[in-house]
Structure 1
């Protein structure tokens, strides 16, 4: 089971170990974005298979960044770890802010998946030389504004910001708020407060802080981070009263701190019309797509109601209200269910009531997490077969239990085979897995008759059937 730790300033160095060489080019793959937006996204991280895995929370749902591999990282193993973690937690895996170059890999990985790529999320990516030189007709406006700024402040220069500049930075924020044009915009105010907190970390080795000084007065500032060949600009602020200072700072920052980078990422526009207009005027080379992958399982796509299956002797169908007494007796038979591998009572998380187990089965199907078949002989419930743990990659696990009064007649094998065939040939699964305790000779014999053994550990034998 993955163990996540909250993103903190103290742990930023661990993240930076992965992000410093990350070539995804998107702002989310940086220490700065994780720290700045942690109050909103509640980012947490872990390491698995030589990769950094980050879990965010948005509107009550977990969203995982695409894994960032280290030198010997295994992306597929990290994705499998995410999927297994979600399976254990009973939630669908959601892989978000996926860079375009990784999208095809996930399309091939998931048979059924919803994919989105919202315009609002996309980052603005510029060639570093374009912002460094502002050459050509399309940048004539920027060059004119820079000339006006240089005429107004001929001695202005961009300098590296350090902790020693904290006084100048605090004065800048006071000056900035005095002429802040969005003071009545709550979202903008919140972003400004986050920016202030970030500038207090200007001395961190991960960040590059730059300030445009007119003498000793700080009139513009920026905070950036190099990730691979991309310089990610986390914060850009300038005093509006200084005409032309904004493009002057953009150009000077690219020139002074962009060495070794092909790209400059000025992040997204948060659907702000003014920001969008401004960022488009600087001529982005491309928009950084951020795909969101929401895998689905076969139950979600193909099953509206639990079907009826028939074998030579049995009928398998949905549990009904009339089955509750017999179903409760089956589930509460502790001696029989010592081989079941799951504590039905403990899984309730509360007291056992008459409808408890029936409601769990019904809810699991409503959420398309499992399908419980009642195994019937001459109309009487004698057991159940459960197809569950859908991995969104074409696989599911199958379990079967038969009332002890009907054991030894092959009913379990018959029911198991029926559900396995339905799953593979009607539900369009590509593989079904099962397991049994090593001490359970009867289950071992049953599984061996209809599946292929594919491993074992100290506790279980594992089986698989695939098409």
Structure 2
């Protein structure tokens, strides 16, 4: 059966009736990371850390089909969508099985966060005239040369460097600490205090995801850090290494009473935890004007376009 995803051998001659999706959990990290390591990708959506953080906000499941990892997401009241199959298995077979599977459920085969080359594959497999697609700018990822965000050198980073230097001067004596057993409980307490008055659904979902990370921090293999001033935590951030060339920064939070704390944790985290990684993916702007302006101001090396597609 296809739901025997922990087996090294996968059955041949599968039909769409054999497909079984499983709710994602921490125990699935090793198998998901194994398939992710077989593929080259730069999008943030399919990293295990991203899936784990947001699994409390929507239904996230996975299946192994034709020796490919397939991740499915369903928002409340919406039809499910998937990401492009992942791994070195038979992707063409996987795609054809998926179309039959979702059609049998009365749903279209719908994809989100497609990189352009995978959209082109879909158009070849199912014929371009049968594909409805669009680029979703709000979901495009911002990818930076890590060293640029550490050094902030040159005229295009002049204002950023000034803000950072002002933070260093105003909060002289601040310290950076990697997140670990010595400060994790204190960080949890700090975040509970910072997030206690939030009533926005999106922020509540994010807060719950952050709390879940802290509860399982060591098992997630994240790298993160915090800034401390006068013995108080004033900012924190964490992410994960995807490959020798890519890290993804999932969360960045700061106490806005400390001017420049966001700029400082951005630079300090990369300098201390990810300085050997070529690219840093700092995820999307979600169409939020202020967030888009801030991300653009750091001069991304790549704005990675992501597409949505429905197979008619």
Most deviating of 207-216 and 96-105: 207-216
- Which residues in structure 2 correspond to 1:206-217 (within 5 Å)? 206-214=221-229, 216-217=231-232
In structure 2, the residue matched to 1:89 is 105
Whole-Å Cα distance in 1 between the matches of residues 22 and 164 of structure 2?
45
1:288-333 alpha-carbon deviations (Å, 9 max, x no partner): 222111111xxxxxxxxxxxxxxxxxxxxxxxxxxxxxxxxxxxxx
Are positions 1:193 and 2:204 aligned together? no
Secondary structure of the residue aligned to 2:19 is coil
Are positions 1:240 and 2:256 aligned together? yes
Asked whether the equivalents of residues 54 and 206 of structure 2 are also in contact (C-alpha less than 8 Å), the reply is: no
In structure 1, the residue matched to 2:14 is none
Asked whether the equivalents of residues 117 and 292 of structure 1 are also in contact (C-alpha less than 8 Å), the reply is: yes
TM-fit CA distance, 1:175: 5.4
How high is the TM-score relative to the length of structure 1?
0.58
2:55 to 38, 59, 68: 38
In structure 2, the residue matched to 1:227 is 242
In structure 2, the residue matched to 1:294 is 310
In structure 1, the residue matched to 2:148 is 130
**Cα separation, partners in 2 of 1:60 and 1:285, compared to 1, 3 Å:** same
In structure 1, the residue matched to 2:32 is 15
1:124-174 alpha-carbon deviations (Å, 9 max, x no partner): 111112212111112112111111211123232322211332232034225
Secondary structure of the residue aligned to 1:204 is helix
Are positions 1:120 and 2:125 aligned together? no
**Cα separation, partners in 2 of 1:43 and 1:205, compared to 1, 3 Å:** closer
Are positions 1:150 and 2:168 aligned together? yes
**Cα separation, partners in 2 of 1:21 and 1:147, compared to 1, 3 Å:** farther
Structure with max Cα Rg: 1
Whole-Å Cα distance in 1 between the matches of residues 99 and 201 of structure 2?
37
Whole-Å Cα distance in 2 between the matches of residues 140 and 201 of structure 1?
39
Question: Gapped runs of 5+ residues in structure 1?
Answer: 297-467
**Cα separation, partners in 2 of 1:89 and 1:185, compared to 1, 3 Å:** closer
In structure 1, the residue matched to 2:5 is none
1:351-400 alpha-carbon deviations (Å, 9 max, x no partner): xxxxxxxxxxxxxxxxxxxxxxxxxxxxxxxxxxxxxxxxxxxxxxxxxx
In structure 1, the residue matched to 2:4 is none
Secondary structure of the residue aligned to 1:53 is strand
Asked whether the equivalents of residues 86 and 93 of structure 1 are also in contact (C-alpha less than 8 Å), the reply is: yes
In structure 2, the residue matched to 1:415 is none
In structure 2, the residue matched to 1:274 is 290
Are positions 1:56 and 2:73 aligned together? yes
In structure 2, the residue matched to 1:2 is 19
Secondary structure of the residue aligned to 2:208 is helix
TM-fit CA distance, 1:66: 0.5
TM-fit CA distance, 1:33: 1.3
Secondary structure of the residue aligned to 1:243 is coil
**Cα separation, partners in 2 of 1:103 and 1:255, compared to 1, 3 Å:** same
Whole-Å Cα distance in 2 between the matches of residues 176 and 272 of structure 1?
21
Secondary structure of the residue aligned to 1:28 is coil
Whole-Å Cα distance in 2 between the matches of residues 10 and 164 of structure 1?
25
Whole-Å Cα distance in 1 between the matches of residues 119 and 21 of structure 2?
25
In structure 2, the residue matched to 1:29 is 46
TM-fit CA distance, 1:6: 0.2
